Structure 1
């Protein structure tokens, strides 16, 4: 019924409880989850979960915030993307939230890493899982430059255009509109249940249901009434219920639509089932 489109079950606090998590997911009618890779070093663990559990899938990528880790080459991503049950590229994107004493110019390494992921997504025709925080203008600009869209320098190549999802969306309606214009999906997390998230709930109201996914981003961002606790894919129905309330529809309609959207975006899930 429900699909958690973004979680980190490879993180130690969740991996050690995978059997309990699977049971809780079944009880909550969460039938599938996508396990997100954040470093090349953890890929084998993430991928191993997907290989071991028929309802789990994997991505390959290096999170923009991760420093001091193996820098992914295009070949690194392409080779791992060819493995069974790998259905997406990422988590990738840009994050300027913790610049500290650095400037945006100092983050050129992050922008180049992002470009590498976009190129891998196009060469494999796999969707990108995009993270953006305090960097939406650059995130969109680089995607337009590299993604093969009309007006881009390489738009005439025979590679497919970039596609994917802006995950754990916390940006404005303006950014959501720009992502939708590129035919990307928008994924919402438990943040939309937080008391101080009224503006984000307005974005939920704006985004069409047919362009929407739901996620937990476990182990982070547990929805109300579990806020402050370790998150789990079993909690993703609470995200769906909040969307249903905002849009004035049934939670079943949200579950059906977001699971259908997941299948449409991550098409390899069906091919590899």
Structure 2
């Protein structure tokens, strides 16, 4: 059985897909995906997102504000209040993105620190997005003791040095469909080095559909294609990759109900 450790079910354009959310979840379950983590990108959207997926026992939720969704300074008290809900299994996604929003570096850094502090206060893992911000991401993780809460660098596209630094802080590394892209040789080389016991797999749906689904709207059912690509690079069977990454997911996101 597989787990999609990072998706955005609330951002699926269901009308374009010609599917209901129930059908998207059923498609995933038909591909042996037993659980999905629906990740929040905006505090203002959290309540609606949580309501959309509330009827699915196989879907858990996080709460946080993506670095590209910060129109104003983060409300740290509101973040703490929302993340305190027992339904919230992780804090984020948070982090730094200097590729798309270099002008908001300072506000991104402040928000990232707030997420780390909330995660440490609640003992909930962090979901971190980082792009073109390697040094600052690691510096803030270290200086604000992100290793206390732990977490994952999701949709990893950085180099081995950053992966090693995150691993040394006790973090997991999550691999998306980007690994299947033709120009992803460097990422595949990193994946080859990653220890199996720190690996997660994800779709980041509705974005970044893996080969052979590239060009389509991504959905959790496609996480098996990511798993196969990772298994091929790691030289293990698909069943073994599924077993290990699923165990890793429940180890990190320990508040997820396994029976769901």
Q: What's the TM-score, normalizing by structure 2?
A: 0.94
Correspondence for 2:65: 62
Greater than 3 Å deviation, 4+ residue runs: 270-273
Distance (Å, rounded) in 2 between the aligned partners of 1:183 and 1:176: 11
User: How many pairs does the alignment contain?
Assistant: 257
> SS of 2:111's equivalent?
helix
Correspondence for 1:82: 84
Listed as ranges, the gaps of 5+ residues in structure 1 are: 150-160
Contact 1:85/1:272 (<8 A) preserved: no
Match runs of 1:148-167 below 5 Å = 161-167=148-154
> SS of 2:6's equivalent?
strand
Residues 107-140 of structure 1, C-alpha deviations (whole Å, 9 max, x = no match): 2111000000000000000000000000011001
How big is the shift at 1:245? Answer: 0.6
Contact 2:12/2:206 (<8 A) preserved: no
Are residues 1:243 and 2:246 paired? no
Correspondence for 1:227: 214
Distance (Å, rounded) in 1 between the aligned partners of 2:54 and 2:25: 14
How big is the shift at 1:47? Answer: 1.4
Contact 2:93/2:129 (<8 A) preserved: yes
Q: Go from structure 1 to structure 2 and tell me whether the alpha carbon gap of 1:12 and 1:199 turns closer, same or farther (over 3 Å shift).
A: closer
Q: Go from structure 1 to structure 2 and tell me whether the alpha carbon gap of 1:183 and 1:34 turns closer, same or farther (over 3 Å shift).
A: same
Listed as ranges, the gaps of 5+ residues in structure 2 are: none
Correspondence for 1:32: 35
Match runs of 1:24-173 below 5 Å = 24-68=27-71, 71-99=73-101, 102=103, 107-147=105-145, 161-173=148-160
Correspondence for 1:9: 9
